Amino acid sequence: MRPLLPLALLALPLLAACSRPDDALPAAYRAIDVPRERLADPAARLRGRELFQETCALCHGPRGDGHGPRAGSLGTPPTDLTRASWQRSASPRFVYWRVREGVPGTDMPSWKAFDPDATWDLVAYVLSLGGGEDRAAGAASKLPG
């Protein structure tokens, strides 16, 4: 019988990746100040929605559910940004990082062409997808400090 300890050690990085704590982000992204007021601002979410429809909906779908027109032709299915488990684990910094850097090994590109304000507007909208308007504000209010 094989010992379970080596398997448990292999599972730890997977569990850490699934929980997506900000501590696992690159240092530059852990240090970013989250603009709480912007995440709570309905106007920011509206600007983010417009940006999402222009640049993200082709893959993630107009509702963010991963069913965009290009979804079937991609090597990796787009994330369902409305899924409750994803929403619970996605911090504002994590979403900002993924928008700016993309997701290696997938079709998700980096969007460094967006200025920080536009990126935060997009973050505000994405975080609102799973729980209505108050989701983005709630995510910002749970940040330490």
| 82-89, Cβ contacts within 8 angstroms, sequence gap of 24 or more | 82/129, 82/130, 83/130, 84/130, 86/130, 87/127, 87/129, 87/130, 87/131, 87/135, 89/18, 89/19, 89/20
The residue-averaged pLDDT of 120-125 equals 97
Q: Examine the pLDDT at 137 and tell me if it is beyond 50.
A: yes
In this prediction, residue 9 carries a pLDDT of: 43
Q: Examine the pLDDT at 141 and tell me if it is beyond 90.
A: no
Q: Examine the pLDDT at 31 and tell me if it is beyond 60.
A: yes
What is the biggest distance separating any 2 CA atoms in the chain, rounded to whole angstroms? 60
Q: At 15, is the pLDDT very low, low, confident or very high (cuts 50, 70, 90)? A: very low
Which residue carries 């970013």 as its tokens? 32
Domain 26-141 is of which CATH architecture?
Answer: Orthogonal Bundle (1.10)
